[in-house]
Amino acid sequence: MSVSLPPRRLLLAWLLVAGWLLTSALAQAAEPTDAQRAAFKRAYATAQQGGDGWRSLAAGLRDYPLYPYLQAAALQHDIQQADRASVEAYLRQYPDWIPAADLRRAFLLELARRQDWSNFLALYQPGLGDTLGCDALQARLAGGARLDFERDLAELWTRPGLPSACDPVLRAAHDQGLLTDARVWTRIDRAVDAGQAGTIAGLADWLDEPGRRSAQQLALALRDPAAALAAAAGWPDQPRQREAAALALARLARRQVDGADTAWQQLRSHFTFNETQRNRILRTLALFHATDFDDGALERLIALPAAAQSEGTREWRVRVALARQNWSAVLAAIDAMPAEQQQDGEWRYFRARALAALGHDDEARRLFEAQAGQATFFGFLSADRLDQPYAICPLTLADSPQREQALLANPGVLRAFELYAVGLPKLARREWARALQDADPATQRVAAVLANRRGWYDRAVFVLNSGEALRLYDLRFPLASQDGLVPQAEHAGVEPAWAYGILRAESAWASDAQSGADARGLMQLVPATAALVAKRNGLDWGGGDTLYDPATNIALGTRYLAQMAARFNGSPWLASAAYNAGPNKVDQWLAARGTLAPDLFVATIPYKETREYVARVMAFSVIYDWRLNGGPVVALAERMGAIGQPYALPTAATARRPVDCPPVAAPATAASAAAATP
């Protein structure tokens, strides 16, 4: 049946369709050319050196979507010579652009350095961070204004640490009598909670005796807990001294638990610790005796008062019992957890392990079956226990052309894609975040699909990280053949699926990732290690920045992975632990607990980061095996052979486990899915 529309409504409908087609055409026509991108790269590199040389290189880029980034880069480089007029001209022309915000911030910092306070105040906007906020207060002070604590300092005062730009402001506040002892102690207490010894030491000078000495003792407890405890026997039994001693005991326990235990025995009768302090000390001592697997560690954890227990102590009670293979104690420890903690996939799996070890096979099987429906580390382990197929149930996003076109008409999204295309991923992520900050989940998923098509894989990894989106395996576990991982892994003598799992766990596909330890790129190599690997394997080495090139990073990363595997009889799971924590640490753990079954050994790794890392890598290896090869995959039990058992690369004869999607797959909870999320 057809429906006739009135002429006016028909015209409106045609206009809407025409508008959509025009938007689509414009979006598609706006795709920059390779020549434009190459020209932009040359111009941007020149602009970053300052001056106007970039302009001749950018003559044909006026309509290129990133053109404003060029002038901003040149102005930023020349910021010490910049004047207010040139900066304001740029801000007026591109008021809502990220480079404009960066330029404003950079010029304000320069004006503060010059102490050009009148121009500073003319350009300053609130909300630019603590450094510029304090500079603005300096500017007002320079103009003769006085500070008001509630208006000017109350919010800053809540920070445990402040930038050096705030020092003159705080001195002025002190000279005005605004920093009373009560206010100083409020901030000291916050700094204690945050472990900021430097902040406490700086504030101590504004206190009279004996407050100054008390603050210095708190700073010492944070900075050098052993020295603080050595002196604590001579401290009076006063509230601040008790807190400093309790703080030092807890801090020392993390580094040297036996020394902290000795100090506790000496000081427990000297100070009248309150219940909270006593529980904190007992909890910390018990926890770090447990991570060392000391004799009596399990008994300490069991004996902890209820108020002293925490999620961590309950968890370690299970781990110590697992190390002893005391299955009754494992069940008792899991039973002692709150119901929510018991639902974590790890504890459900180990409850089943304990029940099976104690002969409760039917109950164990029910728990394993509940876990085996999940594509996680413990789900795969459970399926191995039952000799069942792995449950991997892929989900495919339905096409959403209208959302795609709307996104491709969004200038911020286009700038993000273009910044990524020209090798500026940090700036690309900022444009992405701003453009999509208010987008609904469906729109964010479509944006991730568009990014994935452009080879920007980390967007999908970070966006698709909960609920049903966890099943979008093609997006969450990209293959990226252009980076050469498969041939490089095969040349290095490691399984490609495992190498992919390492890469995915290390960087989540962010090629410019850099850790606090200066590990760089997709497989997170430290430059010094990469240089040694290159030399050992006869590969070219161009310095640390070459690790941001995916092909270079993968070539070196796969060789280093092979080096770790060779050290541990080819074992991928032990080599994964070594890749994360270092081979010497793994050797120490093997010397202490090397007779344990692999799943128990992983559960007793003292470092939370490494435990979760090994679980992620091994689960990711299974998923990548399926992504690469389809059909049956090498079983996790095969990949996680017994300690000391040589591991051989999979061949056609290697036993494999089928992959199936049950009619109703158990949904992964946030906790149980942790082993399969970034």
Residue with tokens 């206009």: 15
Q: Kind and range of the H or E element at 660?
A: strand 659-660
What is d(CA 440, CA 482) in angstroms, rounded to the nearest whole number? 32
Question: In this structure, are residues 413 and 459 in contact, taking their beta carbons and an 8 Å threshold?
Answer: no
- Quick one: 331 exposed, middle or buried, by C-beta within 10 A (0-12, 13-18, 19+)? buried
Coil, strand or helix: which one is 657?
strand
Residue with tokens 């890749």: 579
What is d(CA 419, CA 97) in angstroms, rounded to the nearest whole number? 14
Give residues with Cβ within 8 angstroms of 458, minimum separation 6: 507, 508, 509, 510, 511
What is d(CA 600, CA 640) in angstroms, rounded to the nearest whole number? 11
SS3 of the chain: helix, strand, coil, percent, to 5? 65, 0, 30
Question: In this structure, are residues 394 and 473 in contact, taking their beta carbons and an 8 Å threshold?
Answer: yes
Q: What is the largest CA-CA distance in the chain?
A: 96
| Candidate list 506, 609, 612, 638, residue with the active-site label | 506
In 3D space, the residue among 215, 291, 223 whose CA is nearest the CA of residue 593 turns out to be: 291
What is d(CA 249, CA 251) in angstroms, rounded to the nearest whole number? 5
What is d(CA 575, CA 590) in angstroms, rounded to the nearest whole number? 12
Question: In this structure, are residues 662 and 373 in contact, taking their beta carbons and an 8 Å threshold?
Answer: yes
Coil, strand or helix: which one is 568?
coil
Over 187-199, what HEC string results? HHHHHHHHCCHHH
What is d(CA 345, CA 675) in angstroms, rounded to the nearest whole number? 9
Backbone angles phi, psi at 501, to 5 degrees: -60, -40
Q: At what angle do helices 377-386 and 361-372 cross, to 10 degrees?
A: 130
Instruction: Give CB contacts under 8 A, 24+ apart, made by 474-483.
Output: 474/394, 474/396, 474/627, 475/397, 475/448, 475/449, 477/504, 477/620, 477/623, 477/624, 477/627, 478/452, 478/509, 479/627, 479/628, 480/455, 480/509, 480/550, 482/455, 483/522, 483/550, 483/551, 483/554
Coil, strand or helix: which one is 167?
helix
506 has catalytic annotation: yes
- Quick one: 670 exposed, middle or buried, by C-beta within 10 A (0-12, 13-18, 19+)? exposed
Catalytic residues: 506
